[in-house]
Amino acid sequence: MFRPLLALLRRDLTLALRRPQDALTVVGFFVVVVALFPLGIGPDPEFLRSLAPGVLWVAALLAVMLSLERLFSDDYRDGTLEQMLLVPEPLGLLVLTKIFAHWLITGLPLVLISPLLAVQLNLRPDEILILMAALLLGTPILSLIGAIGAALTLGLRGGGVLIALLILPLYAPPLILGAGAVDAVMHGASAQAHLSLLGAMMVFALFATPWATAAAVRIMLD
Amino acid sequence: MSERGIQWFRFTAPANFYDLAGRLIPWFAALTVALFGVGLYMGLVVAPSDYQQGDSYRIIYIHVPTAWMGMFLYVLMAVYAAIGLIWRIKIAEIMAKSIAPTGALFTFLALWTGALWGRPTWGVFWVWDARLTSMLLLLFLYLGYMALHAAIDDRQRASNASAVLAMVGVVNVPIIYFSVHWWNTLHQGASITVTEAPTMAMIMFVTLMIMVLAAWMYSIAVVLARARVELLERERTAHWVRERLEGERG
């Protein structure tokens, strides 16, 4: 049962590695947006430090959102997605595999590059560790929820802008908890509650969103 | 469904629904006007001023009904959307689509009146308080639903796709509410709960309930009217539409 899923995962990763600029653009966007904030609000280190959790999280969230359109659109255009409907494996699992591949390509690099940006914004090492943990738990949620929006806008004109309107309100809880975790450590409290809730949210999203995404894919390919 | 009771499924047939809605709308519209008249008179003239907030508190007679309706209509919309998606009942799909603009309007009015009330009471039009923020996100959810519905040309596909979105949204509303609540709270606690006696004067409570009822009647009338038009558009080739339109033309 897992062999087709592994094949799909390998295929998606291979495709991404053959065209690395796609994944790099997302990371580049993340870095540039974070770099623009000090230009907008001034270079005061203490002030930047207090804004850092929110800035990093909002930038990560926008970067993931921008990459969502590519999650299904290539497969939709060349007809691969339609073939996936015919595969005996449940569509929910196939979709989950594609989301996992998408996260490996876009979400994980954001987590890995985030310490560099956090240092620029004067976060301390222990806070950076929490930031990475929060992003590690949070970016999969962003990919999972975002996949629903990506599926619902398949083949629509102006789908990219529409995804933003559909998905960004749903990103509020991970944003609050993720940025809140770093904030808690900065104010000397424990981030455990935030991280636990974030983990719970990831498990729930892992369980529930692939079904919704699969239903959306079926509807849009109907 | 017993033979003698009202046969509810009869009204899932487009023609029957169309006729029933046409008969009901004038009644609900009349009730809306009457209840709003009484409610506003009681709220603006009869009810006493609040000893702390003076006359500015009177905006709650609009604010609370709109906020309740804004939240409740989203759930109702998702329920109709789910019924339409699962049992393929066309009327339910149309009801879901027709509820969305009214729900968005109420949510917007709740935010607007809240801002007007916040200025004299808190000293600012807008604060990033938990309830305000979750209402704002609710407004975005409504807008997303309507935008998705409008972006898809095929009506059936538009209904199904936005139904999925409405259901995802309704699962998220409590999560959003609690996470935002945890994040920040300044809004005064609810004065009316189901389990306790309301912490406000009886006359204020009665007036508020009349206004809530008026908002309900308004929603029903407007949603039914919108659903009727939508139904005509979708079924424009059907026999019953031609029958009725020719009948109306005389």
Q: What is the tens place of the pLDDT at every residue in A36-89?
A: 999 998 888 889 999 999 999 999 999 999 999 889 988 999 989 999 899 888
pLDDT of residue A191: 86
Q: State how far the alpha carbon of A194 is from the alpha carbons of A137, B40, B131, B226, in Å.
A: 11, 45, 20, 44
Q: How far is B150 from chain A (nearest CA, A)?
A: 11
Domain containing residue A162:
2-221
Nearest Cα to Cα of residue B74 among B186, B205, B174: B174
Number of domains in chain B: 1
User: Do A36 and A123 contact (CB within 8 A), yes or no?
Assistant: no
Domain containing residue B105:
58-235
Cα(B19)–Cα(B245) distance, integer angstroms: 12
pLDDT of residue B2: 46
Residue B130 belongs to some domain of the structure: yes
pLDDT of residue B196: 57
Residue B120 belongs to some domain of the structure: yes
Per-state percent for chain A, helix, strand, coil, to nearest 5: 85, 0, 15
Q: How far is B227 from chain A (nearest CA, A)?
A: 23
- Which pLDDT band, with edges at 50, 70 and 90, does B236 fall under? confident
Mean pLDDT to the nearest integer, A187-197 = 88
Chain B residues within 8 A of A173 when measuring between CB atoms? 172, 175-176, 179-180
Cα(B250)–Cα(B28) distance, integer angstroms: 26
Give the residue on A whose Cα is nearest the Cα of B148. A162
Top-confidence residue, B188 or B51:
B51
Cα(B247)–Cα(B250) distance, integer angstroms: 5
pLDDT of residue B181: 74
Q: How far is A172 from chain B (nearest CA, A)?
A: 7
Taking the Cβ of residue B185 and every Cβ of chain A, the question of whether any pair is shorter than 8 Å is answered with no
- State whether B164 and A148 contact (CB < 8 Å): yes
Cα(B142)–Cα(B177) distance, integer angstroms: 15
Residue located via tokens 């009204």: B11
Residue B18 belongs to some domain of the structure: no
pLDDT of residue A139: 96
Cα(A131)–Cα(A125) distance, integer angstroms: 10
Q: How far is B245 from chain A (nearest CA, A)?
A: 33
Chain A residues within 8 A of B143 when measuring between CB atoms? 165
CA torsion sign for B197, B202, B208, B213 is positive
Residue B229 belongs to some domain of the structure: yes
Chain B residues within 8 A of A168 when measuring between CB atoms? 140
User: Do A199 and A137 contact (CB within 8 A), yes or no?
Assistant: yes
Give me the residue from B144, B156, B171 closest to A166, CB to CB.
B144
Residue located via tokens 């770093």: A182
- State whether A152 and B165 contact (CB < 8 Å): yes
- Which pLDDT band, with edges at 50, 70 and 90, does B69 fall under? very high
User: Do B83 and B144 contact (CB within 8 A), yes or no?
Assistant: no
pLDDT of residue B197: 56
Chain A residues within 8 A of B180 when measuring between CB atoms? 172-173, 176
Q: State how far the alpha carbon of A154 is from the alpha carbons of A157, A158, B96, B98, in Å.
A: 9, 10, 22, 24
- State whether B180 and A172 contact (CB < 8 Å): yes
User: Do B159 and A220 contact (CB within 8 A), yes or no?
Assistant: no
Mean pLDDT to the nearest integer, A132-138 = 96
Residue B143 belongs to some domain of the structure: yes
User: Do B165 and B145 contact (CB within 8 A), yes or no?
Assistant: yes
Taking the Cβ of residue B146 and every Cβ of chain A, the question of whether any pair is shorter than 8 Å is answered with no
Residue located via tokens 């692939």: A210
Residue A1 belongs to what H/E stretch?
Answer: none
Mean pLDDT to the nearest integer, A80-101 = 92
B104-137 as b/e: b if 16+ CB within 10 A? bbbbbbbbebbeebbeebeeeeebebbbbbbbbb
* Residue B6 reports pLDDT greater than 90: no
Residue B169 belongs to some domain of the structure: yes
* Residue B189 reports pLDDT greater than 60: no
Cα(B41)–Cα(B210) distance, integer angstroms: 11
pLDDT of residue B1: 42
Rounded to two decimals, the ipTM of the complex is 0.90
Residue B186 belongs to some domain of the structure: yes
Q: Write down the pTM of the prediction.
A: 0.89
**Average pLDDT of the residues of chain B:** 85
Number of domains in chain A: 1
Cα(A58)–Cα(B147) distance, integer angstroms: 23
* Residue B15 reports pLDDT greater than 80: yes
* DSSP state letter for B12: G
* Residue B4 reports pLDDT greater than 70: no
Mean pLDDT to the nearest integer, B8-28 = 85
Mean pLDDT to the nearest integer, B125-154 = 89
Cα(B151)–Cα(B154) distance, integer angstroms: 9
- Which pLDDT band, with edges at 50, 70 and 90, does B58 fall under? confident
Type of residue numbered A38: P
Give me the residue from A159, A176, A212 closest to B179, CB to CB.
A176
**Residues in chain B, how many?**
250
